Structure 1
Amino acid sequence: MPISHLGICVPAARFDEVVAFYKATLAPLGYIEHMRPVENVVGLGARYPDFWITGVKEEEGDNAGGDVQRKPIHFAFDVSNRTLVHDFHAAALGAGGKCNGPPGPRPQYNRFYYASFVLDPVGNNIEAICMWPAWTHWQYWAGSGVFRSSEKTGSGSE
Structure 2
Amino acid sequence: MFDHVKFGVSDYAASKAFYLKALEPLGVAVAGEGQPTYGVELIGPKSKASLCLFQTEEKPAHLHLAFAAENRQQVDAFYRAALEAGGKDHGAPGLRPHYHANYYAAFVIDPDGHNIEVVCQDPEA
TM-score when normalising by structure 2: 0.91
Residue among 20, 31, 34 paired with 2:28:
31
Tell me the number of residue pairs that the alignment of Structure 1 and Structure 2 aligns: 122
In structure 2, relative to structure 1, the CA distance for the partners of 1:126 and 1:84 (3 Å cut) is same
Is 1:125 the counterpart of 2:124? The answer is: no
Structure with the higher strand share, 1 or 2: 2
Task: Give per-residue Cα distances to partners, 1:116-141, cap 9 Å, x unaligned.
Answer: 0000011000000000012xx2xxxx
Aligned to 1:107: 97
Q: Which gives a bigger RCO, structure 1 or 2 (Cα 8 Å, sep 6+)?
A: 2
Gaps of 5+ in 2: none
CA RMSD of aligned residues (A): 1.4
Q: In the alignment, is the contact (CA less than 8 A) between 1:34 and 1:49 conserved in 2?
A: no
> 1:10-21 alignment to 2 at 5 Å?
10-11=9-10, 14-21=11-18
Q: In the alignment, is the contact (CA less than 8 A) between 1:44 and 1:52 conserved in 2?
A: yes
In structure 2, relative to structure 1, the CA distance for the partners of 1:52 and 1:6 (3 Å cut) is same
Task: Give per-residue Cα distances to partners, 1:99-122, cap 9 Å, x unaligned.
Answer: 100000000001110000000011
TM-score when normalising by structure 1: 0.73
Task: Give per-residue Cα distances to partners, 1:31-57, cap 9 Å, x unaligned.
Answer: 111111344300011235601001114
4+ aligned runs moved over 2 Å, structure 1: 37-40
Gaps of 5+ in 1: 59-67, 138-158
- Using the aligned pairs only, state the percent identity: 37
Aligned to 2:55: 55
